[in-house]
Amino acid sequence: MLTVRNLELHYGGIAALRGISIDVQKGETVLLVGANGAGKSSLINAVIGLVASSQGVMSFNGKDITRASCDARARAGIGYSPEGRRVFPTMSVRDNVLSGACRRGAVLQRDAWQWLCGIFPLLSERSEHPAGQLSGGQQQVVAIARAMASSPKLLLLDEPFLGLAPVWIARISEAIRHMQSRGTTILMTEQMARPALKLATRGYVVRGGEIRRSGSIEEIREVALAEEYL
């Protein structure tokens, strides 16, 4: 579904990604694990088109997206939940979530809202609250629900657990499992390897802008856990 080949990314003169190649097949949950500064967000942001790569090729469902706009990638079916639970703080919870489905008609938006409230009761409980007033875990739910509202084919989750209490990690994990059961393909990043290893089918260990290890969860588990303490 997603193929990245020899991706290079620079900020000014500094290389953040060097020769990155990854694959995500339909139905998989692939984990990018690595310490802070490893290059995980840079890779996710390159896939959604927020930052331009200086070299390399990316394709999605067989189409070259290397130079496609963010908007074109979203229309092609790539959904994105950014690191640091970025919600629109003064907008209501409902409007935050529905902003993720703004290209869909009113009926589809209503369906998406009802479906998401069924998964996350807090959305209906807090629907008219400004999202900025919610707790960190609640904001993460809003950010993920917004990404899910467009029913993406590929969902990018950048550090969904970062800074969250265990109870919220458990709830977000449940939501990720729910999407897996719907057949959503997921590419997620985490520095907190432990809960993420329970969700993914395959993974890549990233360090210093390079892939250091790849394989099944069993194959990368030890290296991934060691990376947590760097």
The item of Mg ion, ligand ADP, none sharing an interface with residue 42, based on CB under 5 to 8 Å by kind, is: ligand ADP
* Among 24, 20, 38, CA closest to 224: 38
Determine which helix (DSSP H) or strand (DSSP E) holds 118, and give its type and residue range.
helix 106-119
Work out which of 41, 81, 140, 214 binds ligand ADP, going by CB under 6 A. Answer: 41
* 82 belongs to the binding site for ligand ADP (CB under 6 A): no
Any contact of residue 42 with ligand ADP (CB under 6 A)? yes
Residue 49 neighbours by CB distance under 10 Å: 21
Contacts of 210 (CB under 8 A, 6+ apart): 17, 18, 19, 20, 39
Please list, in sequence order, all residues whose beta carbon lies within 8 angstroms of the beta carbon of residue 5, skipping any fewer than 6 positions away. Answer: 21, 56, 57, 58
Q: In whole angstroms, what is the distance from residue 223 CA to residue 219 CA? A: 8
- Binding ligand ADP (rule: CB under 6 A), the pick from 3, 19, 37, 130 is 37
Nearest in space to 20 (alpha carbons), one of 161, 191, 206: 206
Residues 168-207 that bind ligand ADP (CB under 6 A): none
Q: Which stretch, 37-45, 53-61, 137-145, 193-201, contacts ligand ADP (CB under 6 A)?
A: 37-45
- Does residue 16 bind ligand ADP (CB under 6 A)? yes
Residue 40 in the binding site for ligand ADP (CB under 6 A):
yes
Least gap, CB of 205 to ligand ADP (angstroms): 11
Site residues for Mg ion, 26-85, by CB under 5 A, read 40-41, 83
Supply the minimum distance, in Å, between the C-beta of residue 213 and Mg ion.
19
Q: Which segment (29-37, 87-95, 139-147, 192-200) binds ligand ADP by CB under 6 A?
A: 29-37
Residue 222 amino acid letter: E
